[in-house]
Structure 1
Amino acid sequence: MVDLLQVVVDEAAKAAATSAVGAVSTAGRNVVSLLKERLGTGDSGKDALSSRALAAARADKEWADRLIEAVSELHSENASTATAGIENFRNHLAILADPPRTGLKLIVGPGGSGKTELARQIADRVQADFPSGRVEVSLARYRDGDEFDAAAVKRYVLEEFGIPRGEIPVDDEQLDRQFLSVLVTRSFVLILDDVELAAELALFTRFRTSLVLATASRYGRELKACDPQAIELRGLDQEGARQLLTDFCGKVRPSGEPVESDLLIGLCDRMPLALREVGVTLAGRAGETRPVAALLDEYRATGVVDAEGVIQDSLRRTFARLSDAAVEACALLAEHPGGFFTRATAAAMTGDPKVLDELIAAQLTHQFGDWYSLTILVGQYARGLTADRNAGFDRLLAHVRDTAVAADFRENPQRLRTYVVPSKRTWDLPVDHIDWLEWHRTLIGELVKLAWLRHRHKEALQLAGAFEALVNKRGYWREFVEISDWAVKAVEADKDAKPGQLPRALMMRGKARFLARWFPAAREDLDRAAEILAGPAVGIAERRWHTLRASLAEFRGRFHEEHADLLVHRRAGKAEIDRELGEAARQLRLACAISTELEDGPALAIHPRMLANVLIKLGEPNEAIAVLGTMSAEGRNRARVEMVYANAYLALGELSEARARFASAWNQLTSQRATQYAWELRELQARLMTAERDPGAIDVWGRLAYDATQIGHPRADRYFTALESSPPDRRR
């Protein structure tokens, strides 16, 4: 496990280093002041300062605590915008009068006891003490059986703190570094809903300047060890229960029947879910003389004696008032993959575009923006109802498949794809096609898995293939690792699989894996694809077979380049790094040769640029320029070619040509509003200014280091290295 104190002093050293060039906040000045107080004003680099601060922190716990507190306020301006969504009723006033303010506090109790609502109200009481805001995480969304996706939780939390998704690393090592850097430099409230294991809490309990409020339904030995004095709930306090009942009764006023209302609340055990259901039941009796007393009489007559009975009776009454179509829709939507649906996916699954409105009017759903879900109790009840679930799944699968494929073709009708193309592939929705894929990415992932489990292998491959349009445009490679795994299984299980589908699926999974830096597993996939493509083209056009070979050579080249980058990061020997880069160049030369033979224009606009980039890393800029001279490119790719040219001329010391190429790339990408290359451009600018001996270079490096530190990105380390190599007289 990473030493958290090491992370703290590293962030403190970064704050000191950026302050030397004027990039500093008030919180940063506080950190620098603490470092000077303990270590003096001696000039030293970031790593040396970090080492000295770590030794001091271990020797002086009081000073270490002050440093931890100061570092936790470094990025409070990057506060989460997550809101509590507090409902308007009182909940356990004694606890709220003196709420917990540091560390971990568990809130345990049965489902429906108000755990999450109490956590939100506690957070609301103490929020002013935590300037970086509040994040709420539903851990159930990150479990699949016994598997818990800790990496996905980290990515979600980082995004909640405003870290752009494109700036969150794919691989675990860099993700962990960023996660720790971001969280130690913020003071926040975290609500963890539905905790089951101590390991889930361990992701966050190390950050002791923040408050973690965790809810759990089971309070076993493992969780008791984490918090022996948890808040244990049995229901709301009496006043809170009365207020909640009133909130859901519509025009009925329980206060007009106080004795009967308290009896009804007691029957519900003051449990929020039961009170909500009985409130909905009472709302339907508006106009009666004594609706609460009448409902109690009916409960006695039918044997309803506890909260569970109240809930089941309320659900039976609610469903009895629904149309047959709405009842069947509930049964189908209770099985909707992922539990969340849009109007369009609900209409597809139920076959009825209007039925969702009836469910909403009956208060059977929750809404989250454009997405809906059934309430917990309604979903549980509806799963026991009869419906043609296979037909519903088939309709949903066809709808999402057709829309995803249409989005893929809208993005690039000419790109390499091996899945069976359905007849409908025209994009006709009034939204951006890539936005649609992004909004539905979780649903697509669920459907790929379920399609495979239902032996719908063709559809699984169509969805996985269409998802490539999203990863090629916006990333999501980590999500694609699992999707591509199901795609490989689907091809292997499909007796009707087409030639080319298995090597393509293996190649895509291999790429997703090496971007996650799972290199041994990625190598296995790419080697398997190579074995298949080494054979003759059988049942597939010769040109298409060779196109797959070129694509494989590209992926293998990228594999070795990524591996070389990792070796650089780990400070491996030059010979080892050059071996990887040499193999990358060999594979990319092969990709260029095959694409040239095929006269494949789109590929020839990419492969030479990739090769030139590797050649520059190998110290062969002249050959890189020669390779670039063989290609033509347009649009965004042209700007990227100009960037590679600039790097090559910079390596040769031809600064005027490097400056011209940089200016061309900058202008093109600015006009195209292409922001994903901003870091690369700014770093190129800083390197160019350094070579030109421009005194402003140190300010550019300083701003790069400061901005990278703000989001906890590991690239900050190389910016600090550049800063420390700058002339001392330029530092403030």
Structure 2
Amino acid sequence: MQARSVTGGIHFHHRSDQPPGSPRPQQLPGGISRFVNRTVELNRLDAFLSSTADEDGDRRETSLCVIAGTAGAGKTSLALRWAHRVQDRFPDGQLHINLRGYDPGEPVTPLEALHRFLPALGVPTPAVPVETEAAAALYRSLLADRRMLIVLDNAGGARQVRPLLPGNPHCLVLVTSRGRLSGLAVHDGAHHLTLGTLPEPEAVALLRAVTAGYRPVDDPEKLVELARLCARLPLALRIAAERAASHPHMRLDELIADLRDESALWEALSTGGEEEADAVRSVFAWSYRALPPDAARLFRLLGLHPGPEFGTGAVAALAALSIRRTRQLLDVLVTAHMLEQTAPDRYEFHDLLRAYATDQAQAEESRDDRTAALRRVLDWYLHAADAAQSWISPAEDHVPLDPPEPTITPPAFADYDQAVDFSEREHLNFPPAVQAAERAGLDRHAWQLSAVLENSRAPSAPATGWLATAQIGLRAARRLGERAAAARLLESLGFGHVKLNQLIEAVDCHRAALAIRRELGDREGEATSLNALGLIHLRRRELADAEAHFGQAMAVFDALGAVHWATVTLSNLAGAHLQAGQLAEAAEQINRALATHRESGDKGCIGDALCILSAIHLDLGEPLEALRSAQEAVELALDLRSHAAEGYWLLALGDAQQALGRFADALTSYHRSASLHRRLGDRSREARAWHGAGETYRRLDRNVDAADLLRSAAATQRELDDAWQEALALAALADALRAAEPQQAVRHWTEALRLLTGYDDPRAVRTREAVTGCLAEAVAADTRE
């Protein structure tokens, strides 16, 4: 490929990466039972499908249909009913996702959706691109020759949908949304179907279908009246019919009178103009009051759960019930259509029912009871995350926690993968949990959750969303006067800022933490802060300051007998000597550190040490040894399921592959590294990956492509005020332009020399001498001409 101007991630996907055979995903959920009528709409969908095909059945137009309608109108039921009807027309399978566009929490992003679709299409998880543009491009490529049905449920807007559209008309995309998503019609040729309330005969037929076999035949006029009270909305009709079916000996007159009473109550409280919404609320109240008391209590308490979905363990803690009793009551709520089960042990509300449950909790539970329920579920998340930390971040100190009350049973994890599975499954609930603690004035929970969740986050979670959560915890710790906790959260914020290249803010946080720890006489904490500051100096290539901070930290760790952290700091010190070009010192230190880390079995620390060792081997002219160390590091990153580690260690792998002349492999490593770092928000390491790719193109004599990437790398490092990395990129750029644009090359070498002036370590001296030689040669050649 000709790169020219690169505006996004470039990925190389080899056929050997794909498993044999083409997977045929079957992701359609089961259709709703006793689906009734919607005959007109089903016929219109059939006509739409026919209109987009030619006489041979081939697709000739964009196959995209948006089913729009008010909440509770049955959009999802219709979409699934029709999708099951026509699935045989799409022999390569179906994809389905709930985009949660109208949930109270965050909607599913296009990237998250693609990360669910691509593995189902046969892409190994480690090969899934981590930026939206690249993932969408791969998705379109995989669907280019397939006939598939894709159902995108509950879309909040066109931007959420567009990256999930295939590039060929052989696939059919069915979107449901409360809005019309007019942009999809204008720009993507979408067909629209607006779903209103059911016609009266169909509404009555739905009531009959749900109650058939459970009740005597009801008077048709009474069924019409019941349908009208439900505003002929399928969601309300199903809930009402389920209640009627569960009371076969109660006359329909009595049920209707109860519902009229609820309707009158809502009308008295309503401002008017929302007839359908009022009818739905009336049916909710009517069905809610028919629940057994324990189930009704659980329903309203679920309105207090801070996140978008929940498992049995969290629900049991919320309600102070046993797991067994909780499962029974959850089943009652699912049967009554008051709750949806989305997967084994995972539940969620229809968003209208969540709002109603929250209202009922506010109305029927005292403030103290609401606070107690929230406290219990926060305790469950706190202790569950603490258990996960033991696997995900075993070297980090645990926050001292009070034991949970007897009704709370946090999960236990048998291994690392179980802990990461938990963290990935619950990650959408973590930020809302911290926010809920702050809103409720539970400051101790707020800071403890922030601290524990930082150490138990999924290894591939980006840092961008973490800063706000840590800031909540810091505010809470300060309100409580918990200075040690404040220092801990400042440290967490400092590391978060580093990951986003916000080094000034990171220094401020770590210095503030250091000051607190010195005041408290916390020697280990002081050493930890010194090590953190050393890492920032190392990132800035302030090598003398980095070495001084690492030395001070090591002295304290050694005095305290903190072997693990002393060894971590020794690795960092080796990294400083490596950057300075002091290879003998670096090699001795990293081999000592690696031996200790191997004894403890800490995969993350082993990988970091191997990355440094790989670079040392490369500098010593031992590329095969460098390759072996880097390959082992990347394998460890995959075991850890850590995108941050994988992205960083891929840089070392790419360097070794390039040194050995394995240029295609090197490009694959660099491009994946760039994409991972872009997702994680680390622009500096992303630029380093583009630098590596540019150097590889230069060695392939593809100097135009090399120059494009090296310009991008140099521009990014300039924005980040990283003079060293900018100088290296400019020197490489000058080399790529040497033949075609010698005057530009001279200009870039000259600027690189200026940037290198402030560095005096052995590596900097050698680099400056090399650039000076190139510049002198170029000037001499220009003079001869």
TM-score by length of 1: 0.69
- How much is the aligned-residue C-alpha RMSD, in angstroms? 5.1
| 2:303–2:354 CA contact under 8 A, matched in 1 | yes
Change (3 A) 1:464 1:78: farther
Indicate the residue corresponding to 1:491 in structure 2: 477
The answer to whether the aligner puts 1:644 opposite 2:612 as a matched pair is yes
Deviation at 1:279, TM superposition (A): 1.6
Change (3 A) 1:603 1:357: same
Q: Report deviation, 1:532.
A: 5.2
Q: For 1:210-359, what aligned pairs fall within 5 Å after superposition?
A: 213-218=174-179, 230-236=192-198, 241=203, 244-246=206-208, 248-249=210-211, 251-252=213-214, 265=227, 268-286=230-248, 311=280, 314-353=283-322, 354=325, 357-359=328-330
In the alignment, which residue of structure 1 is the partner of 2:774? none
Q: 1:547 aligns with which of 505, 521, 527?
A: 527
Instruction: Letter of the 2:443 partner, please give it.
Output: H
Asked if structure 1 preserves the Cα contact closer than 8 Å seen for 2:79 and 2:174, the reply is yes
The residue identity in structure 1 corresponding to 2:236 is: A
Task: Give the direction of change, closer, same or farther, for the CA distance of 1:622–1:131 in structure 2 (3 Å limit).
Answer: farther
Contact 1:86 1:120 in 2 (8 A): yes
- Whichever residue aligns with residue 96 of structure 1, its letter is L
Contact 1:588 1:607 in 2 (8 A): no
Contact 1:503 1:532 in 2 (8 A): yes
In structure 2, relative to structure 1, the CA distance for the partners of 1:302 and 1:629 (3 Å cut) is closer
> Does the CA contact (< 8 Å) of 2:314 and 2:377 recur in 1?
yes
Other-structure match for 1:415: 396
- Whether the aligned pair in 2 keeps the contact of 1:77 and 1:132 (CA below 8 Å) is no
Partner of 2:332: 361
Provide the C-alpha distance between the structure 1 equivalents of 2:458 and 2:228, rounded to a whole number of angstroms. Answer: 57
Residue 666 (structure 1) shift: 7.6
Cross-structure match for 2:347: 372
One-letter amino acid matched to 1:591: F
Shift of residue 333 of structure 1? 1.3
Q: Say if 2:495 is the partner of 1:511.
A: yes
Distance 1:206 1:372, change over 3 A: closer
Describe the superposition over 1:53-105 as per-residue Cα deviations: whole angstroms up to 9, x where unpaired.
xxxxxxxxxxxxxxxxxxxxxx9957766434432425422222123663654
Task: Name the residue aligned to 1:624.
Answer: 586
Residue correspondence of structure 1 range 76-475 to structure 2 within 5 A: 77=22, 82-88=27-33, 89=35, 91=38, 92-99=41-48, 102=62, 105-121=65-81, 123=83, 125=86, 133-140=94-101, 152-162=109-119, 175-187=131-143, 191-195=151-155, 200=160, 213-218=174-179, 230-236=192-198, 241=203, 244-246=206-208, 248-249=210-211, 251-252=213-214, 265=227, 268-286=230-248, 311=280, 314-353=283-322, 354=325, 357-362=328-333, 363=335, 364-368=338-342, 369-376=344-351, 378-382=353-357, 383-384=359-360, 385-387=363-365, 388-409=369-390, 415-416=396-397, 419=399, 421-423=401-403, 429=412, 431=414, 432-471=418-457, 473=459, 475=461
Length, aligned pairs only: 628
Q: 1:240 to 1:595 in 2, by over 3 A?
A: farther
Distance 1:298 1:685 in 2: 71
Residue aligned with 2:364, SS: coil
Q: Does 1:527 align with 2:508?
A: yes
* Higher relative contact order (CA closer than 8 Å, sequence separation 6+): 1
List aligned pairs for 1:531-680, cutoff 5 A.
Answer: 531=512, 533-534=514-515, 537-538=518-519, 540-557=520-537, 560=539, 580=540, 582-583=541-542, 586-587=545-546, 590-599=549-558, 600-613=562-575, 616=578, 621-631=583-593, 632-634=596-598, 635=601, 636=603, 637-638=605-606, 640-655=608-623, 658=626, 665=632
Task: Output one character per residue of 1:6-55: Cα deviation in whole Å (capped at 9) or x when no partner.
Answer: 999997xx77xx78xx86999xxxxxxxxxxxxxxxxxxxxxxxxxxxxx
Partners of 1:85 and 1:220 in 2: CA distance: 26
Does the C-alpha gap of structure 1 residues 436 and 197 become closer, same or farther in structure 2, counting only changes over 3 Å? closer
TM-score by length of 2: 0.65
Identity %: 17
- Offset at 1:543? 0.8
Moved more, 231-240 or 645-654: 231-240
1:276 deviates by: 0.3
Distance in 1 (CA, whole Å) between partners of 2:621 and 2:615 is 10
Q: Distance in 2 between matches of 1:427 and 1:109?
A: 41
- 1:353-409 CA distances to partner (integer Å, 9 max, x unpaired)? 225523522523221221223455554443234013122112222332233334435
Unaligned ranges ≥5, structure 2: 53-61, 268-274, 680-685, 703-785
Q: Is the CA contact (8 Å cut-off) linking 2:214 and 2:248 kept in structure 1?
A: yes
Deviation at 1:344, TM superposition (A): 2.0
Q: Which residue identity lines up with residue 348 of structure 1 in the other structure?
A: A
Distance 2:199 2:347 in 1: 30
Deviation at 1:215, TM superposition (A): 3.5
Q: Structure 1: any 5+ residue segments left out of the alignment?
A: 27-74, 561-579
- Aligned with 2:67: secondary structure? strand
**Residue 348 of structure 2: SS of its match in structure 1?**
strand
* Pair 603,114 (structure 1): closer, same or farther in 2 beyond 3 Å: same
C-alpha separation in 1, matches of 2:422 and 2:178: 36
- Residues of 1 paired with 2:674 and 2:430: CA distance? 34
Instruction: Measure, in 2, the Cα distance between the counterparts of 1:466 and 1:513.
Output: 18
Give distance in 2, aligned partners of 1:413 and 1:301.
Answer: 58
Structure 1 residue 185: Cα displacement: 2.8
Q: Distance in 1 between matches of 2:424 and 2:543?
A: 31
Post-superposition Cα deviations, 1:270-295, rounded to whole Å, max 9, x if no partner, equal 4211220222122124367xx66886
Q: Distance in 1 between matches of 2:125 and 2:444?
A: 31
Inter-partner Cα distance in structure 2 for 1:274 and 1:268: 6
- Residues 8 and 81 of structure 1: CA distance in aligned 2, closer, same or farther (over 3 Å): farther
Distance 2:137 2:183 in 1: 28
